[in-house]
């Protein structure tokens, strides 16, 4: 029997490889929703930058509106195109009224990004499109973002600079870095204001400079100067923020955070503990925050003991690339064996989160976190397994606040009892993180929640 199985394995792996290698996942529906595009290059030899808001209908058509910078001359642009997505996720787009494609593109990240190049013989243009979050506000833009610029205004020989923007989530920012132009290299710093609209477009201003911007998925901000300078940037988050949406200890509960550094070099990770009201949470033996220095391939753990009365809050942290982390909950109930669950971290940047529930014989518990620096209203909409809406309600959370309860106990959601389906959590400002737990008596496990 062992010999037979051994001979069969290569055939099985071959079949899997064929299926994997020939999977054709894309269609016109893959390119659907609101995107922001940044285009750069030359038009008939003249420097050109364009940033557009693109709305794709998933059926082969899209409209766009935006801003063009042609050699320092700023003007609006708008129009509509048709597109075709092939099964291998490549495609073309054609202006309305034309029979010839003007762009070729490739969808990546499941349609969240589009890489494209212009096909005109007179123009040399290429760019990327990024899908926008469901909704945005000033609070969608906070924390440190890095930037690099290799370009220049039309009335100078050009310059290069790099540095950091730090956004406060309330409409203000600071910046610092270095600038190198044709005759000097200097440090730069300053401050400014910004605003982000519900559709994730916006602007930044540090007089005399101004930019049009777009907040997009993947931790990026697209910017184009709006004052005649020929400059475009893509801002990238310095570190992405995550939360463990529930951190209980005492009253029968124990919690832990595990970390692994998979890099070949040392890194540090700082964890902040926050209570349900948005204030620092004191963890016995740890304090309100902890910084761990992890050597290459090293692991570390933070534990909160089961002692005293129940305390609840959450953990906020920024994981460097190559560092993984997860949480563990343990509940001790008299007369029963201890129960544990491994709990994943969630992004602190999502504007919509969904989880699948099963209330036929179980109870769904949720912890809902507002990790942004402004007060927030979270809308919870519950659907059954057919997609019919069961109920909807709202929850108000303070800045950096949190709440937790059985999902069925929120107003207008009791109709989910006895059903299976999906719960969707959305915000009108800032972001939301959700942790789900499924209880069967004293036993429980985590429910994965998906954010965008």
Reduced to 3 states (helix: H, G, I; strand: E, B; else coil), residue 422 is: strand
> 10 Å Cβ neighbour count for 262?
13
Residue with token string 């940047």: 349
| CATH topology agreement for domains 28-131 and 138-238 | yes
> Which carries the bigger pLDDT value, residue 268 or residue 185?
268
Confidence tier at 183 by pLDDT (50, 70, 90): low
The domain locations on the chain are: 28-131, 138-238, 241-451
Domain 241-451: give its CATH architecture: Sandwich (2.60)
The per-residue DSSP string of 31-55 comes to: SEEEEEEEEEEEETTEEEEEEEEEE
Query: What would the CATH number be for the domain defined by 138-238?
Result: 2.40.128.120
- Assign 5 a pLDDT band (cuts: 50, 70, 90): very low
Q: How is residue 366 written in tokens?
A: 């949720």
Q: Which among 212, 206, 207 has a CA at the least distance from the CA of 225?
A: 212
- Distance, in Å, from the CA atom of 187 to the CA atom of 288, rounded to the nearest integer, reads 35
Reading the block at residue 291, the tokens are: 């910084």
Q: Which fold has domain 28-131?
A: Lipocalin (2.40.128)
Phi, psi of 131 (to 5 degrees): -70, 140
Share of the chain above pLDDT 90, in %: 72
Compute the average pLDDT of residues 297-323: 95
Which pLDDT belongs to residue 204? 96
Residue 255 dihedral angles phi and psi, to the nearest 5°? -135, 150
- Give yes or no for residue 225 having a pLDDT over 90: no
Instruction: Choose the most confident range, by mean pLDDT, from 99-103, 148-152, 268-272, 428-432.
Output: 268-272
The pLDDT, as a whole number, for residue 14 is 35
Measured distance CA(49)–CA(40) in Å, rounded:
5
pLDDT tens-place string over residues 381-436: 999 999 999 999 999 999 999 999 999 999 999 999 999 999 999 998 889 999 99
pLDDT tens, residue by residue, 316-345? 999 998 999 999 999 999 999 999 999 999
User: Could you tell me which of 239, 236, 447 has the C-alpha nearest to residue 347?
Assistant: 239
Q: How far apart (Å, rounded) are the C-alpha atoms in residues 112 and 82?
A: 18
Can you give the pTM of this predicted structure?
0.81
Mean pLDDT to the nearest integer, 241-254: 96
Q: Which helix (H) or strand (E) holds 16?
A: helix 2-21
Nearest to 26 by CA among 82, 98, 105, 81: 105
| pLDDT digits 0-9 by tens, 33-64 | 999 999 999 999 888 999 999 999 999 999 99
The mean per-residue pLDDT over the stretch 205-212 comes to 90
Asked whether residue 228 carries a pLDDT value surpassing 80, the answer given is no
pLDDT range class, residue 151, cuts 50, 70, 90: low
Question: What does the DSSP assignment read for 226-242?
Answer: SSS---EEEEEESSEEE
Query: What's the confidence (pLDDT) of residue 432?
Result: 94
Q: What is the pLDDT of residues 361-380, one digit of tens each?
A: 999 999 999 999 889 999 99
3-state secondary structure of 246: coil
């Amino acid at each position: 029997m062992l010999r037979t199985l051994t001979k069969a394995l290569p055939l099985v792996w071959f079949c899997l490889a064929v299926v994997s290698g020939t999977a054709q996942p894309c269609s016109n529906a893959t390119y659907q929703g609101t995107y922001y595009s940044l285009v750069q290059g030359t038009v008939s030899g003249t420097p050109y930058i364009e940033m557009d808001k693109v709305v794709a209908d998933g059926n082969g058509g899209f409209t766009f509106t935006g801003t063009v910078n042609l050699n320092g001359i700023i003007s609006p642009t708008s129009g509509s195109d048709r597109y075709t997505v092939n099964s291998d996720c490549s495609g073309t787009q054609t202006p309305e009224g034309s029979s010839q494609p003007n762009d070729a593109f490739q969808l990546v990240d499941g349609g969240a990004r589009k890489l494209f190049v212009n096909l005109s013989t007179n123009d040399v243009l290429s760019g990327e499109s990024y899908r926008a979050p469901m909704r945005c506000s000033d609070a969608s833009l906070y924390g440190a973002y890095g930037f690099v610029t290799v370009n220049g205004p039309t009335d100078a020989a050009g310059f290069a600079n790099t540095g950091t923007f730090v956004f406060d989530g309330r409409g203000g920012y600071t910046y610092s870095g270095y600038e190198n132009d044709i005759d000097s290299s200097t440090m730069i710093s300053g401050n400014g204001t910004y605003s982000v609209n519900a559709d994730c477009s916006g602007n930044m201003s540090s007089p005399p400079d101004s930019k049009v911007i777009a907040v997009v998925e993947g931790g990026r901000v697209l910017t184009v100067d709006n004052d005649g300078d020929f400059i475009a940037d893509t801002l990238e988050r310095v570190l992405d923020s995550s939360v463990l949406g529930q951190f209980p200890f005492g009253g029968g509960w124990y919690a832990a955070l595990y970390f692994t550094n998979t890099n070949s070099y040392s890194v540090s990770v700082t964890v902040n503990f926050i209570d349900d009201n948005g204030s620092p949470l004191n963890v016995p033996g740890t304090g309100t925050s902890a910084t761990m220095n992890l050597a290459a391939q090293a692991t570390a753990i933070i534990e909160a003991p089961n002692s005293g009365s129940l305390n609840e809050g959450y953990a906020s942290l920024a994981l460097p690339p190559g560092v993984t982390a997860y949480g563990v909950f343990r509940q001790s109930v008299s007369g029963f064996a201890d129960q544990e669950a491994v709990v994943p971290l969630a992004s602190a940047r999502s504007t919509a989160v969904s989880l699948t529930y099963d209330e036929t014989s179980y109870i769904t518990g949720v912890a809902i976190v507002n990790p942004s620096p402004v007060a927030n209203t979270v809308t919870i909409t519950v659907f059954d397994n057919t997609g019919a809406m069961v109920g909807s309600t709202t929850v108000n959370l303070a800045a950096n606040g949190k709440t937790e309860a059985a999902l069925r106990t929120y107003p207008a959601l009791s109709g989910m009892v006895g059903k299976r389906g999906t719960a969707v959590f959305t915000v009108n400002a800032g972001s939301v993180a959700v942790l789900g737990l499924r209880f069967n008596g004293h036993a429980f496990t985590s429910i994965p929640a998906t954010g965008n």
